[in-house]
Amino acid sequence: MWQQAHDTIVAVATAFGRGARQIIRISGPEAWQAIKRVVTFQESVPKEEPLQPLVFATWLDWEGLPARIPCDVFYWPSGRSYTAQPVVELHTICCGPLAQEIIARLKLRPARPGEFTLRAFLSGRVDLTQAEAVVGVVEAREVRELHTALQQLAGGIGGPLRALREELLDLVADVEAGLDFAEEDLPFLSWEELENRVTAAGRTLEQIKRQFEKRRGNTELPRVVLVGPPNAGKSTLFNALLSTERAIVSPVPGTTRDYLTAVCTHRGVTFELVDTAGLESWPGKVTACASGSTNSTETSTGDGDSSIAEKMQAATQRAAQTADLWLLCWEATQYSPQTVGAAWDIHNSQTLLVLTKADLLPIGGSSSCPEDAFLVSARCNIGLEMLKDAIVNGLLAQQETSAGVVAVTAMRCRDALQRASDAIQQAQELIRRRESEDFIATALRVALSSIGEITGEVYSEEILSRIFSRFCIGK
């Protein structure tokens, strides 16, 4: 596929269908000469390839065209474009037949799927993880996925991997230098320094592995769990956030016996909302109920119902432990810092304190509420939009700090990361046993090769074909 990376290609870069503008993209050494076959410039232009990016006002005007069609030509010279080749983009009105006629008159080879980004990769403009992020941007279905793809495109995962690979390259060079000059008894690297550097590389690799493991499956959404004591208005708030009656609401404490889930979307971010049974204290401070014991409140109506209550509390804790964000619900009229702080951990980035039933507060009664709490009334529709905004902001903030990975990269790289990790561990074991440095260098080279597969320093035609076949034409 890359054997033809030096000819000139053309493709429509915008999606097919109706639209205001259409972009036709050209890349290759003949790009400048080709565009002059189809446009008439409104000003004098250089005969040779320009040396800097330029924008030209032009029009389409050829025999058989009933009228002149205005368009713009954007030009990037070699070394200053996405592909590192001369690139021209023709921006004109969106019309399928017109685009076909322009491409026919250009007399260039049609681009294959992903060929522009392939050329960017082969020229060193992007690594493989960034190339795959382009697919992530195009295929993003919600803001969360778009943020992940844009972070990866900016080098969020490729940067740490390249830095780790550079460290391992230096380490292998030092180890092999010691082998080359072994007879001269020169202390290139002590065992202690070698062990420290390999251990540090292992820690870095484990951090990168955790970033990949945080990548959720395509069907898994971030989870927002409503927690709090019984009768705190969780189910009513659950219904209000969904704008539908999903949960049964009753003034009797303990009505909710199992957790309910529903999908909610706000500002383009989709998440799973979970309503749970009441707890008297924070899930992290409550003894797990797998053994049948619990510190939670008794909501059963008799001894015969105690096992159901225990199972209910255990289910609530399990749901809470899988949360990306907690909404700690507390009735506004019952709130006091001492009561809440004694049993619930509210001082963490994963928790939003929500004071419910605000319509029951006396006039001026909200002054005792903490500034970072959200005062809401599901019955009177007070504070719900502000709470939804806070949920979305909290989830996006977590997404930014977790530096997620687009799905296609996570699937491709899992095995390579594990092989690199195994090789680092093997090198550590060889160092502890003071084995031959030749064996240690071999293990480190395996780790280097595995990391290179992820970023693209090590690749094959089969790997590239598999990756870039996922792209649409024009990207």
User: Where do the structural domains in the chain lie, given as residue ranges?
Assistant: 2-127, 150-215+405-455, 223-402
Predicted confidence (pLDDT) at residue 346 exceeds the cutoff of 70: no
Quote the tokens at residue 258.
């199992």
Query: What average pLDDT does this structure show over 33-46?
Result: 86
CATH of segment(s) 150-215+405-455: 1.20.120.430
Q: Residue 8: is its pLDDT beyond 90?
A: yes
Compute the mean pLDDT over every residue in the chain, rounded to the nearest whole number. Answer: 80
Q: In this model, does residue 243 exceed pLDDT 80?
A: yes
Full strand arrangement of the beta sheet holding 69-76: 40-41, 54-60, 69-76, 87-93, 21-27, 9-12, 109-110
Alpha-carbon torsion angle 287, 288, 294, 298, nearest 10: 120
- pTM, rounded to two decimals: 0.61
DSSP state of 366: G
- Greater pLDDT, 231 or 349: 231
Q: Which residue has the tokens 């030749």?
A: 438
| Mean pLDDT computed over 104-117 | 92
Decide: 433 and 425 in contact? Cβ < 8 Å: no
Could you please state the CATH topology (level 3) that the domain comprising 223-402 is classified under: Rossmann fold (3.40.50)
DSSP SS3 for 223: strand
pLDDT range class, residue 304, cuts 50, 70, 90: very low
Beta bridge partners of 133: none
Quick check: 126 and 454 in contact, CB under 8 A?
no
Contact 146, 137 (CB under 8 A): yes
pLDDT tier, 288 (very low <50, low <70, confident <90, very high otherwise): very low
> Is 60 exceeded by the pLDDT of residue 301?
no
pLDDT of 423-433, one tens digit each? 999 999 999 99
Nearest to 266, CA basis, from 359, 364, 384: 384
Residue that the structure tokens 């440095």 belong to: 437
CATH value of 2-127 in 3.40.710.10, 3.40.50.1000, 3.30.1360.120, 1.10.1530.10: 3.30.1360.120
Q: Does residue 111 contact residue 83 with C-beta atoms inside 8 Å?
A: no
User: Which of 10-19, 238-247, 333-342 ranks highest by mean pLDDT?
Assistant: 10-19
Distances (CA, A) of 280 to 252, 260, 328, 338: 16, 19, 11, 14
> Distance between CA 130 and CA 136 in Å, rounded?
10
Residue 38 has pLDDT above 70, yes or no: yes
Query: DSSP characters for 155-216?
Result: TTTHHHHHHHHHHHHHHHHHHHHHHHTGGGT--SS-HHHHHHHHHHHHHHHHHHHHHHHTPP
- Kind and range of the H or E run holding 4: none
Tens digits of residue pLDDT in 430-448: 999 988 888 999 999 999 9
Give residue 298's pLDDT band: very low, low, confident or very high (50, 70, 90). very low
